[in-house]
Amino acid sequence: MTGTAFVVLEVLSGVMVVAGALFVLVSAIAMLRQRDAFARINVMSPATGMGLPLIVVAAFVHRVALGTATVTDGLKTVVTVAALLVVSSVATNILARAAYLSGAPVAPETQPQELAEDPRP
């Protein structure tokens, strides 16, 4: 890939990695600022749903610009993004349930709190 296309793709991948990293940073700052474990689990999603997919796709765009990308690379990128979205959300469900079972304190501001009334799960 040469000339204008190379520059456009390289700038695009540069912008995407920085944007992706910023979303991970947002999650990290939110971890410091939120009040209980459940709110912290909640603010993981910007990192796993938006930040990391952006970085992974940017790496593929970078390889396209260099001319080293293959169809297999593209498929692996799709699988990685799908795994980040699906696998991480299943993992988060498990962690959230474990957090509640372990008796992690719920912030008193939580209103309504309907899990306390009917502890079925």
Partner 1 sequence: MIVGVWIATGILAVSIVLGLVRIGTATDAASRAVVGDLVFFSAIGLLVLLGMQTQSAAVVDAAMLAALLGILATIALARIITRGRR
Partner 2 sequence: MRVLYALGYLVWIAVEVVKGSFDVARDTLTPGVGSTPAIVEYPLRCRTDLEVTVMASSITITPGTIVLGTASARDGEPPVLYVHSLYARSRADIIAGLDEMETRLLRATRGRRAGEVQAA
Question: In the chain, what is the greatest distance between 2 CA atoms, to the nearest angstrom?
Answer: 64
Task: Verify binding: residue 121, partner 2, rule CB under 8 A.
Answer: yes
Q: Which is nearer to partner 1, 112 or 121 (CB)?
A: 121
* Contacted by 112, from partner 2, partner 1, none: CB < 5 to 8 Å by type: partner 2
Residues 6+ apart with CB under 8 A from 52: 20, 24, 84
Kindly state the smallest distance separating residue 30's Cβ from partner 2, in Å: 4
Residue whose pair of structure tokens reads 């297999």 in the numeric block = 72
Count CB atoms within 10 A of the CB of residue 33: 9
Tell me which DSSP letter residue 35 carries.
Answer: S
Per-residue binder mask for partner 2 (CB under 8 A), 74-113, x = binder: -----------xx-xxx-xx--xx--x-----xx-xxxxx
Q: Which residues, numbered 50-69, are part of the site for partner 1 (CB under 8 A)? A: 51-52, 55-56, 58-59, 62, 66, 68
